[in-house]
A and B are shown apart, each in its own frame.
Chain A
Amino acid sequence: MTIVAAVSVPQRGIALDVRAVKIVIQRDLIRTVQDRTRFVAALVQPLLFLFVLGAGLSSLTQGSTGALDLQQFMFPGILATSTLFTAVFSAMSIVWDREFGFLREMLVAPVRRSSIIVGKALAGATVATVQGTLVLVLAPVVDVPLNATLALTLLGEVFLLSFTMTAFALAIVARITQVQTVMGLMQVLILPLSFLSGALYPLSNLPGWLSVVTRLNPLTYAVHPVRAAVFEHLSMSPEVRQRLNPPITWGGWIVPTSVQLLLVAGIGAALLAVAVVQFQKVE
């Protein structure tokens, strides 16, 4: 063996932080690929929604969806919700890391805490987008015509959505030390958020309170563009389109998709900043 003299850790800089972000992402990807059960579970949920709930309910809704199949209607919402769950789950892994001690290995490294959080957020978004790709494979089965443009648009939107959701979850869990707490908390938060986002039903003809709440829910602005993109590729009468995918309005102003996406990105960035601040306080 040779005598190793020099400390081989260079001064901090952007390049180092980028490497840290990359390895945090890489680790999460390795762990996800290895975790077969989680992988299967992540696919079972959209399958259940689409082929059991969707098929079962469609006899009930035949008259109301016009020429559209219920499964076609539900597809974008299911794409959004299933990736949302994956993203949140991915963020929660930081609590596992803490409980099993690995977080400490990251906390004492000579890197910015923010690199770790950014790495986790990007990892969550990546994993969720990979899952989104798998859900997209189901599109032709439910008669959603898929072309390259639509697929890329959807995956881009899914990435943005899941990045924001991971950041949201990170902001909440950054200082939680127990896995048990976090499991309960996420159940309480995620279901209402997705139920109130219009992912599972159209935003038209809602009771007054619900139409207010859905408009306040940031997730609504992530789900709507996904559905809008899919609906552009489906043929239906203007009335049906209006009823099943009404534009989101603020006091009469139709909020354009670009503004919605910007809003989601902005909220994601803000939540990420909150997560970083929370994480700085961790000992």
Chain B
Amino acid sequence: MTAVEVEGLRKSYGEVVAVDGVDFTVARGEAFGFLGPNGAGKSTTIKILCTLASADAGTARVAGFDVRTQRDDVRRHIGLVFQDTTLDGYLTAEQNLRFHAELYGMPRQSVQPRMRQVLEMVGLWERRGSKVLTFSGGMKRRLEIARGLMHSPRVLFLDEPTVGLDPQTRNSIWEYIAQLREQEDITIFLTTHYMDEAEHCDRIAIMDVGKLVALDTPAALKASVGHDRVTIRTADDDLAAQALPDAVRTADGIVISTEDGASYLPRLFATLDVPILSVSVRRPSLDDVFLAYTGRTIRDSEQAAGMPAFISAMVRR
């Protein structure tokens, strides 16, 4: 059984085409990542998959059920952690989970043990009696993950699960996800705009302005870019870019992809008349994959989407 099947999905809000003809499938047990800049349409796709929004065109099946015609079946089989918190701050952690258990009609005798299990997993069992508004951002996110797991969903949707969290909490969230996949028959569908996080996924779909521009394993995607990335900053980037026909200009400087960075540098120094201020050579990263498929870095796209540089820097930490 495939966990998620999407065909020709489309959704617009007025003039804005949020999702523009998207196709993909997610296998059962997979961790599948949606990577893209702000406004790419990631959250909109998730909303459609979890029956909160209806698509203008196309079909989607989640856990074997059609999101349009079998809403309730879909809802029974999915867990959700939204980008923005959906906890009741005035209730305790335990009360939030109980509310969830009742709303999902969990068998009464299974509520307590399952609650203990999920709360222990995210390290909040001791704090179960505290009101949620006394929790830190990271604790809230962990509690939301625990709640999303209460009813043992088949597919867990995580919309930007680690955004705004400190590195330590981000790591522990990835540990829970790894632990989950070992222990339960669960498929993980997540969105992120952190490149390094996408590496945790089995497969990644890169989304840009409503369209999927690439879909493969992180390793294959990087291999498809193939080359080392040489990034240089020079005294006059315009002039340097003219001299290097294969180069791409980005916010970080001029990027050249080459078979072997180490042997390319001496040649570069010899050919370029413009003084070079800095040089870095990297193995390909997902950033490069994004660049190769869209012609922009993810950060450029976010600035183009109207987000001032300082805010995107804050969001990205």
Binding site for B on A (CB under 8 A): 1-10, 12, 15-16, 19-20, 22-23, 27, 30-31, 34-35, 97, 100-111, 283
**27 examples of A-B residue contacts, CB within 8 angstroms:** A1-B120, A1-B121, A3-B184, A4-B114, A5-B185, A7-B151, A7-B154, A8-B151, A9-B105, A10-B107, A12-B72, A16-B105, A19-B103, A20-B102, A20-B105, A23-B98, A27-B91, A31-B90, A35-B90, A101-B84, A101-B86, A105-B87, A105-B100, A105-B103, A107-B52, A110-B72, A110-B75
- Residue pair B52, A283 in contact (C-beta under 8 Å): yes
Min CB gap A254→B, angstroms: 47
A8-B110, A20-B102, A110-B72 given; A283·B53 CB < 8 A: yes
- Residue pair A7, B107 in contact (C-beta under 8 Å): no
- Residue pair B183, A3 in contact (C-beta under 8 Å): yes
Specify which chain B residues have a CB less than 8 angstroms from the CB of A12 in the assembled complex: 72, 105
A101-B85, A104-B86, A283-B52 given; A23·B91 CB < 8 A: no
Min CB gap B131→A, angstroms: 9
From A5, A9, A104, give the contact of B52 (CB < 8 A). A104
Specify which chain B residues have a CB less than 8 angstroms from the CB of A30 in the assembled complex: 91, 95
Min CB gap A174→B, angstroms: 16
Min CB gap A70→B, angstroms: 40
Most-contacted residue by chain A among B85, B105, B107, B151 (CB, 10 A): B105
Interface flags, B166-186, vs A, CB<8A=1, else 0: 000000000000000001110
- Residue pair A7, B95 in contact (C-beta under 8 Å): no
| Nearest residue, chain A, Cβ from B74 | A110
A1-B183, A8-B110, A30-B91 given; A106·B52 CB < 8 A: no
- Residue pair B86, A109 in contact (C-beta under 8 Å): no
Q: Does B99 contact A (CB under 8 A)?
A: yes
Min CB gap A283→B, angstroms: 6
Q: Give residues of chain B (175-205) contacting chain A, Cβ–Cβ below 8 Å.
A: 183-185
Specify which chain A residues have a CB less than 8 angstroms from the CB of B153 in the assembled complex: 7
Q: What is the interface size of chain B, counting residues whose CB is below 8 A from a CB of the partner?
A: 42
From B47, B53, B86, give the contact of A105 (CB < 8 A). B86
Specify which chain A residues have a CB less than 8 angstroms from the CB of B102 in the assembled complex: 19-20, 22-23
Interface flags, B29-54, vs A, CB<8A=1, else 0: 00000000000000000010011110
- In angstroms, Cα B86 to Cα A104, docked, is 7
- In angstroms, Cα B99 to Cα A266, docked, is 31
Min CB gap A110→B, angstroms: 4
A20-B102, A22-B102, A110-B76 given; A4·B86 CB < 8 A: no
| Nearest residue, chain A, Cβ from B149 | A4
Specify which chain A residues have a CB less than 8 angstroms from the CB of B76 in the assembled complex: 7, 9, 110
Q: Does B234 contact A (CB under 8 A)?
A: no
From B47, B80, B105, give the contact of A10 (CB < 8 A). B105
Specify which chain A residues have a CB less than 8 angstroms from the CB of B86 in the assembled complex: 101-105
- Residue pair B89, A100 in contact (C-beta under 8 Å): yes
Specify which chain B residues have a CB less than 8 angstroms from the CB of A100 in the assembled complex: 85, 88-89
- In angstroms, Cα B132 to Cα A30, docked, is 14
Specify which chain A residues have a CB less than 8 angstroms from the CB of B87 in the assembled complex: 101-102, 105
From B51, B90, B183, give the contact of A108 (CB < 8 A). B51
Specify which chain A residues have a CB less than 8 angstroms from the CB of B88 in the assembled complex: 27, 31, 97, 100, 102, 105
Specify which chain A residues have a CB less than 8 angstroms from the CB of B95 in the assembled complex: 27, 30
| Nearest residue, chain B, Cβ from A27 | B99
Min CB gap B148→A, angstroms: 10
Q: Give residues of chain B (98-119) contacting chain A, Cβ–Cβ below 8 Å.
A: 98-100, 102-107, 110, 114, 117
Specify which chain A residues have a CB less than 8 angstroms from the CB of B77 in the assembled complex: 7, 9
- In angstroms, Cα B114 to Cα A3, docked, is 11
- In angstroms, Cα B82 to Cα A105, docked, is 9
- In angstroms, Cα B89 to Cα A3, docked, is 30
Q: Does B152 contact A (CB under 8 A)?
A: yes
Min CB gap B129→A, angstroms: 13
Q: Give residues of chain B (235-270) contacting chain A, Cβ–Cβ below 8 Å.
A: none
Specify which chain A residues have a CB less than 8 angstroms from the CB of B52 in the assembled complex: 104, 107-108, 283
- In angstroms, Cα B87 to Cα A8, docked, is 21
